[in-house]
């Protein structure tokens, strides 16, 4: 796939897998790795540096990266974890920060911070779910716009749905439906589903021509499809309510 979405690289080491955004800046002569107080890494590189070189640089600094992660985790681990949720292919710890404001949500580093008035686990679940759906809707609309342009297709209507059995579909009326749970998956898998459904705007079948067209934009379509099958549980069994089910709110002391 061409790099239409913002550039990023993956750093993988032992149990760690993090996505690091890449900024290209012609004022830089060397690579610079940064880590902010919200637990996020970023890397700034001169324009011509290849992905392989960036990845090698990250491996050379793997000890530095791991130390930053460990320190960040020890700072945030004093917060109680209310459960875990998958988000963009990573597993984030739900951290609650009780407060007097309306609930607000912010994924940072390896945590999914929720702050504000937390009065019931049902309220919490519905808040997380609506936040994820909103994120999904924003991200999927953006991807449909970017990829449609690239593929030269036109989708008449995009609908974000909550199907239990499919990630997406495309109708002869040129309506593309996408599942909000795509936001839980690794962006690569999510991009594949969007490209797949958009390719149906040209070929409304799974013919040889369909796959050839799709592979122009997603060369590893077949492998990605196979990987996607391993995530079927997110479609039919996963729910935010279940993720929080073992969690009970501790009543505040008078
Ligand atoms: Zn299909």
Pairing of strands 175-179, 157-161: parallel
Q: What angle do CA 203, 147, 172 make, to 5 degrees?
A: 30
35 C-alpha to center of ligand 1: Å?
A: 40
Q: How far apart are CA 160 and CA 119, in angstroms?
A: 29
Mean pLDDT over 197-201 rounds to 98
Distance 232 CA to ligand 1 centre (A): 15
Query: What's the rounded Cα separation, in Å, for the pair 235 and 167?
Result: 7
Residue 7: alpha-carbon gap to chain centroid = 14
pLDDT category, 247, cuts 50, 70, 90? low
Q: Which residues of 195-214 are buried (b: 16+ CB within 10 A; e: fewer)?
A: bbbbbbbebeeeeeebbebb
CA 206 to ligand 1 centroid distance, Å = 6
Measured CA to CA, the distance from residue 158 to residue 169 in angstroms comes to: 10
pLDDT at 249: 57
Tell me how far the alpha carbon of residue 142 lies from the centroid of ligand 1, in angstroms: 20
CA-CA distance, 215 to 195, in Å (whole number)? 9
Cα–Cα distance, 140 to 105 (Å, whole number): 19
- Find the 156 Cα to ligand 1 centroid distance in Å: 18
Instruction: Give whole-number Cα distances, 39 to 18, 33, 245, in Å.
Output: 11, 13, 27
Q: Ligand 1 centre and the CA of 54: distance in Å?
A: 35
Distance 204 CA to ligand 1 centre (A): 8
Q: Are 218 and 162 in contact (CB under 8 A)?
A: no
Residue 195 Cα to ligand 1 midpoint, Å, equals 10
- pLDDT (tens digit, 9 = 90+) per residue, 87-143? 999 888 888 877 667 778 888 888 888 877 777 778 888 889 999 999 999 999 999
Which tops the pLDDT comparison, 252 or 45? 45
Rounded-to-integer distance, Cα 192 and Cα 89, Å? 14
Interval 130-158: pLDDT, tens: 999 999 999 999 999 999 999 999 999 99
Q: What pLDDT is recorded for position 3?
A: 40
Give the three-class secondary structure for 222.
Answer: helix
pLDDT for the residue 2: 41
Confidence of residue 4 (pLDDT cuts 50, 70, 90): very low
Sheet holding 104-108, edge to edge: 81-87, 90-98, 111-116, 104-108
> Going along the chain, which residue ranges are E strands?
8-13, 16-24, 32-35, 41-45, 81-87, 90-98, 104-108, 111-116, 157-161, 168-170, 175-179
pLDDT beyond 70 at 196: yes
The residue whose two tokens read 């109708």 is 171
Domains within the chain, CATH numbers bracketed: 8-73 (no CATH), 77-129 (no CATH), 134-236 (3.30.2010.10)
Write out the DSSP string of 99-146. -SSPPEEEEETTEEEEEE----HHHHHHHHHHHHHHHHHHHHHHHHHH
Q: How far is the CA of 13 from the centre of ligand 1 (A)?
A: 34
pLDDT at residue 169, rounded to an integer: 96
Q: How many CB atoms lie within 10 A of CB 121?
A: 17
């Amino acid at each position: 796939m061409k790099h239409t979405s913002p550039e990023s690289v993956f750093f993988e080491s032992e149990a760690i897998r993090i996505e690091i955004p890449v900024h290209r800046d012609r004022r830089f002569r060397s690579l610079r790795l940064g880590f902010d107080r919200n637990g996020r890494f970023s890397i700034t590189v001169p324009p011509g540096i290849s992905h392989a070189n960036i990845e090698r640089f990250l491996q050379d600094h793997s000890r530095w990266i791991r130390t930053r992660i460990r320190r960040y985790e020890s700072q945030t681990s004093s917060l109680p974890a209310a459960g875990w949720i998958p988000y963009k292919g990573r597993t984030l710890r739900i951290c609650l920060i009780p407060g007097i404001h309306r609930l607000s949500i912010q994924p940072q580093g390896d945590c999914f911070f929720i702050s504000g008035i937390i009065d019931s686990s049902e309220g919490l679940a519905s808040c997380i779910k609506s936040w994820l759906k909103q994120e999904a809707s924003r991200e999927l609309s953006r991807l449909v716009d970017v990829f449609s342009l690239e593929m030269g297709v036109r989708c008449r209507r995009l609908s974000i749905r909550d199907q239990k059995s499919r990630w997406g579909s495309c109708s002869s009326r040129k309506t593309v439906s996408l599942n909000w749970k795509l936001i839980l998956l690794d962006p690569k898998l999510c991009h594949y589903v969007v490209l797949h459904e958009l390719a149906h705007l040209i070929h409304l079948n799974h013919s040889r021509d369909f796959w050839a067209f799709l592979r122009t934009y997603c060369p590893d379509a077949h492998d990605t499809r196979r990987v996607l099958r391993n995530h079927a549980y997110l479609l039919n069994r996963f729910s935010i309510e279940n993720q929080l089910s073992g969690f009970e709110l501790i009543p505040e002391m008078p």
